[in-house]
Amino acid sequence: MYQRIIREIAPLSTDDFFVIMNHPTAKFDFPVHFHPEYELNLVLNANGKRIIGDSIMDFSSADLVLIGPNTPHAWTSEDKNAQVITIQFNAEFPSEHFLSRKLALPIKELLENSKMGVLFSEQTTKEATERILKLSNQQGFDSVLEMLSLLYDLAISRNKTNLSSPSYIRQFDTSKSRRIKLVTKYLHENIHNSIKIGDVADLVNMSPSAFSHFFKKRTQRSFTDFLTEMRIGMAARLLIDSEKNISEICYDCGFSNVSNFNRAFKTQKGCTPSEFRAQQKLVSIY
């Protein structure tokens, strides 16, 4: 793995529900990193690039993103007046018991999606900014109540965007369907091989046409699209986490030739594999 992707030790103590770090003159000198805590990050007065998993995008102020546990992330900018407010909390806040209640289900779904990084809309960010600034100056139990209220309002907000691809952070195996789990396990184990829908249909004792219909109904994407997304997600991880060349990654992810790989990657990511790696390295030097 590249040494530039490091694990951060968060300043949370056992007595903390969450911690808030307000950086009024942020330097953006922290490299691509990950940690087991959730992180809500608000960037003000800055433009630059943001990396969340395998998503590398331009951002502009104000930028508000919720990042889940162990998802690599970083922001970079050359703006001198940037302000960054970071809220970190662990998986016990809120607790699984709390999240299982009906009223808390929106928060549970938001936290699950945060593994891919959740970008909030311009309107939601505008409404949340004042609350986050105020929260950074609050103490005591009122701050805990406000934090829960903030999470709920973010959870029910409209026009949220998942940033990283599901395959990059291995979200494809969350289905409750036993047959879908069996299929995704088979795909992960054979991703480097040529995979035919007939072979996968046989695995779950279905005809190819019946399996195709079943699979799309359960996953909201065709089997071909699902497999391609999985391969591109794996390729993105290798481009970031390994020193393998483009050709090696192409065949390791089951593509038949580099041209097809480049075309499929650009369709999904908006850039070629080599451009993607170059952008990631550029973000990581800060």
DSSP summary character for residue 206 = -
Of the chain, the percentage scoring pLDDT greater than 70 comes to: 91
Side chain identity, residue 153: D
Model confidence over 79-116: pLDDT tens digits? 888 999 999 998 888 888 888 899 999 999 999 999 99
pLDDT score of 248: 95
- 125 — pLDDT class (breaks 50, 70, 90): very high
- Residue 270's pLDDT band, with cuts at 50, 70 and 90, is confident
**Which pLDDT band holds residue 1 (cuts at 50, 70, 90)?**
very low
- Per-residue confidence (pLDDT) for residue 279, from 0 to 100: 78
**Within a 13 Å sphere around the CA of 217, how many CA atoms are in the beta-carbon half?**
8
The whole model's pTM is what?
A: 0.72
State the DSSP H helix or E strand holding residue 102, giving kind and residue range, or none if neither.
none
pLDDT of res. 286: 42
Residue 73, both tokens: 């992330």
Q: Which secondary structure element, helix H or strand E, spans residue 196, and what is its range?
A: none
Residue 186 makes CB contacts below 8 A (sequence gap 6+) with 200, 203
Name the pLDDT band for 8 (thresholds 50, 70, 90): low
**Domains defined along the chain, listed by start:** 6-162 (2.60.120.280), 178-284 (1.10.10.60)
Q: pLDDT tier at 53 (50, 70, 90 boundaries)? A: confident
Task: Give the pLDDT confidence of 192-205 residue by residue, as tens digits.
Answer: 999 999 999 999 99
Mean pLDDT of 9-25: 78
pLDDT at 175 over 60: no
pLDDT at residue number 173:
47
* 226-236 residue pLDDT tens: 999 899 988 98
Most confident of 111-125, 138-152, 174-188, 223-237: 111-125
Inter-CA distances, 105 with 6, 90, 125, 148, 162, Å: 32, 18, 21, 13, 18
Q: 3 pLDDT band (50/70/90 cuts)? A: very low
Asked if 194 contacts 256 with a C-beta cutoff of 8 angstroms, the reply is yes
More confident residue, 154 or 136: 154
